[in-house]
Each structure stands twice: as structure tokens, then as C-alpha cells.
Amino acid sequence: MNNKILEQKKILRKEMRSKRSALTEEDRKIASHKIISRLINDPNYKNSKTIMAYVSMPEEIQLNELFDDAFANKKILAVPLIVGRGTMRPVFLPSMDSLVVGDFGILTVRQDQRSFVEFDDIDCVIVPGAAFDRSGNRLGLGGGYYDRFLKRVPKAKRIALAFNFELCDKIPVAEYDTKMDIIITEDETFLFDRE
């Protein structure tokens, strides 16, 4: 990837991190509720049996309501487990009590309760990111984990959740960046066709 794109990505990530950090806890809670409400009423989520979702860091959209809905509706819920540099696998989440701090301070399923979910079984992936654009492009957090992972679950719907301010007109993209099928913000849902 050329250095110009790398530098543009770095600058945009920093800008978005700063905006996220500036949100009050109450504003984050309200925005998260609006976004998750839109998600759990979306047919792409409703019709999914097996969901892969990240466990939120404090400054991210909070997914607790999503997890509650998935458990209440008997969906199979998987969360990421880092298994190598740039690589993660989906691990079945039996309950929120099963979570412990894993690599990079990310919550994952405790070792004695881990069972892997097959990549082919995943219907829907809830994808984190730093920024998104109106063409379905995603600026990740810099590790490439989700770009690699999404290539292993080609049938799964790729749903990104974003604060309104994380949606840009255009973001810098490289050839390996994976586009989203759906982006949901507090106010809008965007659907995209795969190329």
C-alpha cells in the first residue's frame, strides 16, 4: 500500500479516536441504544441464526443490548479470539459471565469454556471500525484482523455499526480493505451491493 494512503488512514483514525473520546458516557449510551435498536429490527440480523460480534471497548458503541437480544432470541453468539498475528477465530459465547480479558485487553471467552464456531456457520458479522464512507468502505483499527476474517466468511452479512460522526463522504482505501453490506448509525441504515 502506498505511504500516502497509510498516512491518510493514520490521520483519520486519530481524528475519530479523539471524537470518540470526547463523547460523554451518557451520549455514548444514548447513541448506542439508537444504533442497536436499528440493528435488532433489521431483517438481516433478525434472520441470522449465528452472529459474530465484538465485545465493546469503553469508547466504542456499546453492544450489551445486542447481546441481550441475541441470548433472548436463542441466537448462537460468537466473539473473536486472537489466535495469531492478524488472525482471529470465532468462539461460542455461552453467557456474559464467560468473558475474561484476553490479548490487547480485549474481552473473550475464558479458556476452560472455549469452543470454536465454524466459519461457514456464521450468518452475520458485526464489524467494528474507526470510520466508514457512503460507499460501504471501512477504515479498520489498523491490525487487519477483520479484513482477513471477513474473507473466511464470504456468505455472512457484514454489518458495521457507527456513530453518526464516523460516517464520512469518502475514506482512504487499499485493495485489501473489505467493504460492508450494511452500515447502521443512530439516524440511518445504508445498504450496499457486493461487487
Residue type for 71, please? F
The 10 Å Cβ neighbour count of residue 79 is 25
pLDDT in tens, the chain (195 residues): 578 888 999 999 999 999 999 999 999 999 999 999 999 999 999 999 999 999 999 999 999 999 999 999 999 999 999 888 888 999 999 999 999 998 778 888 999 999 999 999 999 999 999 999 999 999 998 788 999 999 999 999 999 999 999 999 999 988 888 999 999 999 999 999 886
Read off the CATH number of the domain in which 56 is found: 3.40.50.10420
Closest listed residue to residue 157, CA positions, set 46, 60, 31: 46
Q: Which grid coordinates belong to 116?
A: 470454536
Total number of domains in the chain: 1
Residue type, 179: K
How far is it, in rounded angstroms, from Cα 188 to Cα 153? Answer: 26
pTM: 0.93
Cα–Cα distance measured from residue 74 to residue 186, given in angstroms and rounded to the nearest whole number: 26
Question: What span, in angstroms and rounded, lies between the C-alpha atoms of 106 and 102?
Answer: 5
Give CA–CA dist 83/89, Å, rounded. 7
Burial bucket for residue 194 (CB in 10 Å: 0-12, 13-18, 19+): exposed
Nearest to 20 by CA among 179, 181, 161: 161
- In this prediction, residue 5 carries a pLDDT of 86
Q: What is the pLDDT of residue 1?
A: 53
Contacts of 157 (CB under 8 A, 6+ apart): 44, 45, 48, 123, 124, 125, 181, 182
Domain coverage including residue 79: 3-191
